[in-house]
Amino acid sequence: MSATPAFKIVIPARLGSTRLPRKVLREIAGKSVVQHVWESARRAGAEEVVIATDSDEVLQACRAFGADVRLTATTHNSGTDRANQIAREAGWAASTIVVNLQGDEPLMPPAVLRQAASLLAEDPQADIASLCHEVHSLEEWLNPNVVKLVMDRRGYALYFSRAPIPWRRDGATREHPQLPQGLAYRHIGLYAYRVSALAEFSALPPAPLEDCEALEQLRALTHGLRIRMGMVDRPPPRGIDTEEDLQAVARLLGGS
């Protein structure tokens, strides 16, 4: 097995989330959500772990537990843009690998972060790396909140969709869908970028397909960036989008 490459982690942590306000500062087992994310990220073996926030309140909270935290513009539309600002202002080299870990993913395994970084390091043709796992449940495959993807034979993403893809032409109907075993994959929303690709992506205009599906990665594909996909045997635990998610994660971390 090859050694883990040098990489950095940026954790975008926006305070103004809509579905669960202030979620990165909500407490689980005596620590904020973003502190749990940061502590997990530090176990991944990255050279640096930086929290990127648009909030002075988050900045002060992260400084209190010892994090390297930096203030970013309030005008950014995504965590990717925050990560790009951090990379640019830090002067990281174009070839530097940056893993973008969202600030609401306290249960993301450190091994998965290393896997994403290694995947990109081992493929000089790729601009971005991400991960997926096979879908075995028809309910999951049909769920529009579950992002599916199809890949080429080399493992590059061809398309991402909220729709159930690929669809069997023969035998499947709207009333009686058929899960395409061995062909259906769920995307894990974790990305590794080279700094050069991060800068290119952030400078691109939103794409029509991105707006249609509300999937930022379709901007990359529309403009020809190559996304190398890796497989995990099992999906990482859930992130936090709702109060229900927060309580579920609290139970797993022993906070309730």
pLDDT digits (tens, 9 = 90+) for 188-220: 999 999 999 999 999 999 999 999 999 999 999
Domains of the chain, CATH where assigned? 8-252 (3.90.550.10)
Residue 236 has pLDDT above 80, yes or no: yes
CA-to-CA separations, 195 to 7, 116, 129, 199, in angstroms, rounded: 11, 15, 12, 6
Separation of alpha carbons 111 and 41, rounded Å: 10
Separation of alpha carbons 165 and 118, rounded Å: 27
pLDDT digits (tens, 9 = 90+) for 97-155: 999 999 999 999 999 999 999 999 999 999 999 999 999 999 999 999 999 999 999 99
Question: Rounded to two decimals, what is the model's pTM?
Answer: 0.93
Residue 228 has pLDDT above 70, yes or no: yes
Q: Report pLDDT for 238.
A: 78
Report which residue type is found at 139: E
Label the pairing between strands 185-194 and 128-134. antiparallel
Q: Report pLDDT for 172.
A: 81
What average pLDDT does the structure give for the chain? 94
